[in-house]
Amino acid sequence: MFKIKTYSSVSSKQFILCVFILFLLIMWNITSFGVYDELTIKNMESKKRFYVNSSKCQMPYVEPFNTEFTNLYTQKNFTPCSNQSDLITVNFDSILNHYVLHVNKEVLHKLSQSNSNDFACFYQNIIYGQSADHYDRMGNRTKFTHDYVVPLNVEGMLVECRSADEKRILQEDAFTFVQHQKSPPNSERDRKASVIMYGIDTVSRTNLRRLMPMVFEFLKSPGWYEMMGYNKVADNSFPNIFAVLTGYSPHSAVNQICDASQPGCLDKIPFIWKEMQREGYLTAYAEDSLNINTFNYLKPGFFRKPTDYYFRPLLDALEKETFNLYCPSCKMKYCLGRRLVNSYIFDYCRQFMQRFVAKRPIWGMFWSTHFSHDDFTMLSAMQHKVLGDLLNFEKDGSFEHTIMIFFSDHGSRYGPLMATKESFLEGRQPMMFIYLPPWFRIKYPHYVEALAQNQNRLSSNFDVYNTLKHIINIEGLVEHTKWSYDCPQCQSLFYPLPETRSCSEAGIPEAYCTCHNYEEVQEDRGTWRMAELVVDRINQYLQYHNLQSLCSNLTLRVVNVTEVRMLENDEHVSQGKGLRNYHTKFQVHQNLAQFFATVLYDRRTEELQINVELISRINRYRTDAECLDDSVKKLYCICLSNIRNNETILTIQ
């Protein structure tokens, strides 16, 4: 440290000056990591840092590697689907505008254990059915040779290569193709930005920093903007993605358009891709999970093909016609044949961009679920794969043309992280990054400035929807643009968001709002009574929907945590009196189900106000609720047929 000699003759002013200089030197050393180690600095910063810090919203920064996390985390290593090199590779011939199948002779010799170039390869075309969401059948076996030109009507194929006598299988594989389409006339006359939405299910901004640090570092590159005040508006995937793509909540859509759970409704919903198509965009949509697909999990799916390129029929064939593999800790399909499930989706995305992004405006959403949905630690195993995708886009030059939205729907909603102090923030703060290409930054500096400013302001799914609408009409050529229905005060992220914005102004219910300061309340009769009343409301909800013959009545077992919202400067409710906002985390006896609720409660009168459908289930419930198909009601249903012994559950856990 520094030493200062003091003399009796030193004046008080000189002494104060010396102390001030000493203070500056110490602070300089701290900020330069010269006094404290990095962990100490991080801990100091985490106590005072906020993603958003305004009079209406204080969204705290979470230290990624705090003790709670390190105690429960075990790093996962990447598991490849195959150790074999590719016998067949696909190239695109830009002159022919066709894909070409190339046979790697070195791999052929290795697999056949012969120097002969004799082989027999066949493919079967994946034939689409009348239903938009399914394939019809596999085509006849067609033999092909080296540098075979793939017909334009083939959008997917299964490949089998055998030894020359056809007695021994050398390799089986599968390929999908974004086939060429001619650009419409004058597509380059008025340049519009292409938009690619690259999404990964269940990734909070904190977990991205923890488990994909190399991806996070890439996302700090010039042109990328992190929406650090982004807050989800609903519990699970469907309503959050629905808000981004339509500007509606599913509940409002029921009243204004139709019920998304009813057959044919999704075809009527005004998804953003429909407007993109009307404005000359080529569109694509792809997901990598068949069973929990956003529009098919407990939903009827699409009857008509929703976008120009639609991956689900291909995925349907891949899951049913290839060998499905699971990695050691995976609960969802990990490999389809010899390829990672995720790789099909983002190869499809890359082809879509390679084919069209330099020639015409495109919009596409490519969504991956299989590795992140059930196990948050799998993000660490997949970071090289995801980083490789982003680097490939960069290598292809796609970023020169494209606005890319790299995002998630929410953070972890159940599992080990729900036991941490930051669990409320974890589930409600998904990652959201937006990339603007160089030409856009030059042409629209005022929009870039606004987006940069908005990084530390509260934003929501409805703002992202409005931003997509703004991109379509970036020059303001279309009058009376219809913005988000469910959030009239929301706006495009290319306009400055209000610094004093509240959650209600961003369309975020209190149950999901991470702007407010809650402090823990010591357990007493009042906290138990509040949780007890919440359980009663859940039981009333099940009874109201006539589910008591399927679902068990719930009884409170334990109250884990109770928190009360601290009053803000402009709130005048007397401390401890009247209705106050509370968080309550509790467990019931039935299958040890765990819940998290945000309530308005008066401890004196026991008045309770709560929307049951905003209560979160924070442990796994798939097997508990197999008797019910409703995606919302499943959260609160413990099927009578699935009631288990709690001692058995504790042993399994």
The string of pLDDT tens digits covering residues 527-536 is 999 999 999 9
Band of pLDDT at residue 186, cut at 50, 70 and 90: low
pLDDT confidence tier of residue 218, bands split at 50, 70 and 90: very high
Residues 315 and 418 occupy one common structural domain = yes
Q: Comparing C-alpha atoms, which of 586, 612, 587 is closest to residue 599?
A: 612
Q: Say if 566 falls within a structural domain.
A: yes
Secondary structure tally for the chain: helices H, strands E = 18, 28
Q: Are residues 373 and 466 in the same domain?
A: yes
Residue 439 in any domain: the answer is yes
Residues 205 and 352 in one domain: yes
The dihedral through the CA atoms of 439, 445, 449, 450 has a sign that is negative
Mean pLDDT of 423-448: 97
Stretch 475-496: mean pLDDT, rounded? 85
Q: What is the pLDDT of residue 331?
A: 82
Band (pLDDT 50/70/90 cuts) for residue 33 is very low
Alpha carbon separation from 309 to 126, 499, 528 (Å, rounded): 14, 40, 53
- Short-list 210, 545, 200, 548, CA closest to 406: 200
Question: pLDDT tens for residues 367-424?
Answer: 999 999 989 999 999 999 999 999 999 999 999 999 999 999 999 998 899 999 999 9
Give the start-end residues of each E strand in 320-465.
324-325, 335-336, 339-340, 362-368, 402-407, 432-435, 459-460
Locate 525 and state its tokens: 């009769």
Dihedral of CA 547/550/553/557: which sign?
Answer: negative
Q: Which pLDDT band holds residue 35 (cuts at 50, 70, 90)? A: very low
Question: Can you tell me whether residue 569 is helix, strand or coil?
Answer: coil
What is the residue type of 95? I
| Mean pLDDT, all residues of the chain | 89
Considering only CA atoms, which of 563, 604, 569 is closest in space to residue 581? 563
Rounded to 5 degrees, φ, ψ at 507 are 75, 25
What's the pLDDT score for residue 25?
Answer: 33
Q: DSSP letter for 510, please.
A: G
Asked if 216 and 346 sit in the same domain, the reply is: yes
Place of tokens 């690259």: 198
Q: How many CA atoms lie within 13 A of 366 on its CB side?
A: 26
The confidence score (pLDDT) of residue 23 equals: 39
Q: Which of 162, 161, 159 is nearest to 173 (CA)?
A: 159
**Tally of CB atoms within 10 A around 241:** 23
Domains contained in the chain, number:
4
Task: State how far the Cα of 647 lies from the Cα of 653, in Å rounded to an integer.
Answer: 10
Largest CA distance in the chain: 104
Q: Are 490 and 469 in contact (CB under 8 A)?
A: no
Quote the CA–CA distance of 111 and 122 in Å, as a whole number: 17
Res 222: pLDDT: 97
Query: Residue 565 pLDDT > 70, yes or no?
Result: yes
Percent of the chain scoring above 70 in pLDDT: 88
Residue with tokens 């059930």: 374
Q: Is the pLDDT of residue 568 over 50?
A: yes
Among 512, 542, 567, which residue terminates a domain? Answer: 512
CA 428 to chain centre: 11
Domain ends where: 490, 512, 534?
512
pLDDT single digits (tens) 305-331: 999 999 999 999 999 999 999 987 788
Domain CATH code at residue 636: 3.10.450.10
Indicate if 402 and 533 belong to the same structural domain. Answer: no
pLDDT at 622: 86
Token representation of residue 61 = 């920064």
Residues 208 and 137 in one domain: no
Q: Give CA–CA dist 309/315, Å, rounded.
A: 13
Residue 480 domain flag = yes
Tell me the one-letter amino acid at 137. R
145 to each of 162, 169, 383, how far by Cα in Å?
A: 12, 16, 36
Shared domain for 127 and 95, answered yes or no, is yes
Q: Assign 571 a pLDDT band (cuts: 50, 70, 90).
A: low
Do 499 and 563 have their domain in common? no
499 plus 615 within the same structural domain:
no
Strand partners, 582: 564, 599
Query: Tell me, what's the pLDDT at 32?
Result: 32
Structure tokens at 331: 């609960």
Statement: residue 589 has pLDDT above 60: yes
The answer as to whether 54 is a domain residue is no
- At 348-359, the pLDDT tens digits run 999 999 999 999
Q: Which two tokens stand for residue 565?
A: 């919202």
Domain of residue 145 covers 88-176
Q: Stretch 286-315: mean pLDDT, rounded?
A: 95
Are 419 and 566 part of one and the same domain? no
Same domain assignment for residues 625 and 507: no
Residue that finishes a domain, picked among 512, 538, 556:
512
Is the distance from CB of 365 to CB of 409 less than 8 angstroms?
no
User: Model confidence at 223, in pLDDT bands (50, 70, 90)?
Assistant: very high
Domain for residue 143, yes or no?
yes
Place of tokens 């413990």: 638
- Look up the CATH number of the domain holding residue 257: 3.40.720.10
pLDDT at residue 47, rounded to an integer:
54
26-55: average pLDDT: 53
Do 448 and 563 fall into the same domain?
Answer: no
Lowest mean pLDDT among 9-23, 168-182, 350-364, 544-558: 9-23
